[in-house]
Structure 1
Amino acid sequence: MNGTILRFYVHEKRIHKHIALFEWLLEQAKKLGIQGGSAFRAIAGFGRHGVLHEEHFLELAADMTVEVEFVVTEAEADGLLALLKKERISIFYARVPAQFGAIEGDR
């Protein structure tokens, strides 16, 4: 099947409607009928401002990037992006063409 990988990059402490934005994204995708999504926490990285962020042992206040990823149809990607525009959420994303499917086996 042809579609797209849609990735969003947000700070883990960013809040929207009283919950973490990455959780809100997953909830909204589920409500839109998207069949799955995942959130991955970075261990280090830098963004457009060039500041290196990394977590240090015993650091409680880290605000690392979370990547929220969906493998979806073009229509599902369009729907999720339209929702974000409607909600007026500033967010960086990457949209990459993809072929996807599932292999069924005994396990």
Structure 2
Amino acid sequence: MNGFLVIFFTQQNRRYHGKMLGDWLVDLANELGLRGATMSTAIEGFGHTGRLHSAHFFELADQPIEVRLALTEEESARLFERLEDEDIALFYIKTPIEFGTLGKEARKADADG
């Protein structure tokens, strides 16, 4: 199947509608019926301002977060339309990919929903 890999970048301390932004994005993906979302934390990174974001032993609020989704073209369009409606400021990468599942059990699980 062809589609897109979409990666959103944020920090642990960013909130939206009372939730950590990363959690809100994963919940939104679920609400929209997307096939899945993975949230990962990073140790360190910097953004367009050059400011360093990192996870410290005592303070994780500035820890970098990524949310990754493998989406069809239609799913990607629905997600980005919704994000535009939310008027959220969020950096992302969107790149074309091929994705699918391997093995009889994986195909059976996909068919069963």
Name the TM-score, length of structure 2 as normaliser.
0.86
Between 35-44 and 46-55, the greater mean CA deviation after superposition: 46-55
Aligned to 2:44: 44
Aligned to 1:54: 54
Provide the rounded CA distance (Å) in 1 between the counterparts of 2:14 and 2:88: 11
Q: How many residues align?
A: 106
% of aligned pairs identical? 36
Unmatched 5+ residue regions in structure 2?
Answer: 107-113
- The structure whose residues are more often helix, as a share, is 2
Higher relative contact order (CA 8 A, sep 6+): 1
Aligned to 1:26: 26
Question: RMSD of aligned C-alpha atoms?
Answer: 1.6
Which amino acid letter does the alignment assign opposite residue 6 of structure 1? V
What's the CA shift for 1:84? 0.8
Provide the rounded CA distance (Å) in 2 between the counterparts of 1:72 and 1:106: 21
Provide the rounded CA distance (Å) in 2 between the counterparts of 1:88 and 1:36: 23
* 1:43-76 Cα distance to aligned partner (Å, 9 max, x none): 011111112222233x225411110000010111
Going from structure 1 to structure 2, the CA distance change for 1:52 and 1:99 (only over 3 Å counts) comes to same
Going from structure 1 to structure 2, the CA distance change for 1:2 and 1:52 (only over 3 Å counts) comes to same
Name the TM-score, length of structure 1 as normaliser.
0.90
Which amino acid letter does the alignment assign opposite residue 84 of structure 2? K
Provide the rounded CA distance (Å) in 2 between the counterparts of 1:54 and 1:78: 32
Unmatched 5+ residue regions in structure 1?
Answer: none
Provide the rounded CA distance (Å) in 2 between the counterparts of 1:106 and 1:95: 29
Which amino acid letter does the alignment assign opposite residue 14 of structure 1? R
Going from structure 1 to structure 2, the CA distance change for 1:34 and 1:42 (only over 3 Å counts) comes to same
What's the CA shift for 1:82? 0.9
